[in-house]
Amino acid sequence: MLSPSHDKRVVREALRDDRMVMTKTSSVDLVTQTDQKVEKLIIQSVKEKFPTHRFIGEESVAAGEACDLTDSPTWIIDPIDGTTNFVHGFPFVAVSIGFSVNKQMEFGVVYSCLEDKMFTARRGKGAFCNGNLLQVSEQEDIRQSIIATEFGSSRDPEAVNNIFSSLRSILCIPVHGVRSAGSAAINMCLVASGCVEAYYEIGIHVWDVAASSLIVSEAGGVLMDVEGGAVDLMSRRIVAANRRTIAERIIKEISSFSPPRDDTPPQQ
């Protein structure tokens, strides 16, 4: 397997060099050569030890590979979560690797490269940051909470209206504040760390949250869909919170919509 220091070196060297920026679905949905290089390195390294395992990688899916989560052992990879941050030098950039068997997350690793923070979790064994046990916030009052969210890469007016409608409603609860790290994986690790009470987003992808979903739950947090009920990692919708009552209060304020699922083949 690649060492964390190797991943950090690849990202930091790229930050010093010229960063070739390309786009995917829109002018604000960015990808760099570093995204592609890191994903290739991770997959090659894993395949050497586990040649029969399956992979879901952000850049592989963007190149046309299927995004199917089966019962087979599957590695779910986001080589750079926070690509826009990376392009601009904003210091929240993570490598996210989750491992699933029977469609259940078994372990997750989120490495915040520039902070040098390694978040890890194994099912039933707890969650940690640089070896220190993580525990979600004990705050019970949403009015004394910080909520994290993101604004996504869609600039469709209807989607933007829904995003800001939710944001306005949550701010007016009122909450102490709303924050956005620019990385879904890091936002969820902040929930696990107790720094914020909840994170919600519509429009994320399975590779953004697979690893960090286990980190949140192993730190004592809860995961829900934005309309209530169990979270579906392929649905591109999630609420992660320190406790169920906080999650349910946020759900009441979200203007819900359903983006195309990750496991739905794109229309030709």
Q: Which residues are catalytic?
A: 58, 78, 80-81, 83, 208
For strands 146-149 and 198-202, give the pairing.
parallel
137, 190, 211, 240, 268 from 194: Cα distances, Å: 4, 6, 17, 12, 44
Please tell me the distance from the alpha carbon of residue 202 to that of residue 235, in angstroms, as a whole number: 9
- Grouping H, G, I as helix, E, B as strand and the rest as coil, residue 143 is helix
- Sign of the alpha-carbon dihedral angle for 233, 238, 242, 248: negative
102, 206, 211, 226 from 108: Cα distances, Å: 15, 13, 4, 22
For the chain, what is the radius of gyration of the CA atoms?
17
